[in-house]
Structure 1
Amino acid sequence: MHLFYQPEPVQHLTEEDSRHAVRTLRLKTGDSITVTDGHGNRHSAVITQADARRCQFRIRDTQTTVPRPFSIRICVAPTKNLDRIEWFIEKAVELGIERISFFYGQHSERRALKLERLEKIAVAAMKQSLQSFVPILDEALSFTDFLKTVSEDQRFIAHLSDQKPPVSLLKAAATGGRYAVLIGPEGDFSDAEIHQAVSVGFQLVTLGPNRLRTETAALTACQILNVIQWEY
């Protein structure tokens, strides 16, 4: 299957996808393709003009994908090395995620983040994994302002405590929920940030006995929440 992304209600591919379809995949007029708008609609289509700048298509049939009965929101402090966050986004989208939020903590080393490249990575991962939804990517906020945006009913903050270890996310999360998981920066959360999160309903959890890098912890949390939905 050749899956392409066109978020607008038009019947031509984006310039990037047009170039990929015609020059890389060597698709021709009359070839079948599948196009998603990133909001759950998937169109079966046929190419009507194989132009590398503006590949046009005609929709033959449309199917709407129902959103998952649960949602995962990973909230993470951007890493100093942006490649690590890019890697996390790619893999999290492949696994399945509804929303990725960014915040700046007291110990954050990176204080600037541009979403344009991250959004392109998310779209590419969606197409590669043959999904129909592009996750929401939120602009980075201060930790205090970010907490005001959280409406999910199941809220967790991952922290490897030196004292009595908290319950694992695997045991704390109930199936079928709307999840928000906080993942700290390289320098971890400050004590004040932990208290602040707990005061608005976040539960301290652990992702295991090992100390994980920020992007590894974020992906681990995403996978745990996906795994507990599976039926064996």
Structure 2
Amino acid sequence: MREGDKLTVTDGKGFFYECILIQANPKQCMVSIQNSIEKPKGWDYNLRVAFAPTKQMERNEWFVEKAVEVGIDTVIPILCHYSERKDIKTERLEKIAVSAMKQSQQAFLPEIEKLTGFKDIISRPFNGKKFIAHCYDLPKEPLAQHYKKGKNVLILIGPEGDFSQEEVEEAIAAGFEPVTLSESRLRTETACLAAVQTIHVINSL
């Protein structure tokens, strides 16, 4: 781009800015803001997914990309007993989130938290519905039957080997409701996206 060109930028906090490029070089540029346009997120509830990252990083990136396109407030990587990945570069996920936000022409950038321990996430205060999706043969019902339209929501998704039964019990004791996302067994990233989409569909009805 050249000086004098028009462009639109976002702050990731709900605003687009129509600008004119007044200084350009390979390392940085300067713009003059001509107009601001508010574009808040398209939902009025807080949607958070805490998931155990998969061993293949590209699958974690896929979930973040699609979740941002569909709409999410916070992504929280968690460390569980059967986690395949013990660390994760959140900086890479943040870049994926920025790219997905721009590609989908949104002005709201979700938060990507640092890797958090399972006990830390279940003990964290949260004003809304809390769910844990697991595959054990224990009493549970579909997410769509438990979630109430308009409510803030935090959903826990486990690793490929599922949560440990102890983790499930600890989460339930901490106020999380056990749910299922599908009649079939889903990969971690698929389960995450299914949970996000389910919440949005319920709220659109």
Q: What range is the shorter-chain TM-score in?
A: over 0.9
Moved more, 45-54 or 140-149: 45-54
User: Partner of 1:220 in structure 2?
Assistant: 194
Report the TM-score when normalising by structure 2.
0.93
Shift of 1:63: 2.4
- Contact 2:54–2:159 (CA<8 Å) still a contact in 1? yes
1:46 — aligned with what? 20
Q: CA deviation at 1:159?
A: 1.6
Conservation of the 8 A alpha-carbon contact between 1:152 and 1:180: no
CA distance in 2, matches of 1:54, 1:83: 30
Higher relative contact order (CA 8 A, sep 6+): 2
1:66 equivalent in alignment to 2:40: yes
1:230 Cα deviation from its structure 2 partner = 1.3
Task: Determine the C-alpha separation between the residues in 2 that align with 1:150 and 1:89.
Answer: 24
Query: Are 2:49 and 2:192, in contact at CA under 8 Å, matched by a contact in 1?
Result: yes
Structure-2 residue corresponding to 1:160: 135
For residue 124 of structure 1, what is the aligned residue in structure 2?
99
2 CA distance for matches of 1:189 and 1:205?
A: 13
Structure 2 gaps, min length 5: none
Give the aligned CA root-mean-square deviation in angstroms: 1.5
**2:167 matched residue in structure 1:** 193
Residues 150/124 of structure 1: CA separation in 2 closer, same or farther (3 Å cut): farther
How far, CA to CA, are the matches of 1:123 and 1:155 in structure 2?
27
Shift of 1:34: 1.1
2:148 is the counterpart of 1:148: no
Pairing 1:98–2:73 present = yes
Give the C-alpha shift of residue 70 in structure 1: 0.8
Q: CA deviation at 1:150?
A: 4.3
Does 2:184 correspond to 1:210? yes
User: Which residue number in structure 1 is paired with residue 61 of structure 2?
Assistant: 86
For 1:208, give the aligned amino acid: S
* Aligned with residue 56 of structure 1, among 5, 30, 33: 30
Aligned identity (percent) is 42
Distance apart, 1:163 and its partner CA: 4.6
Give the TM-score taking structure 1 as reference length. Answer: 0.83
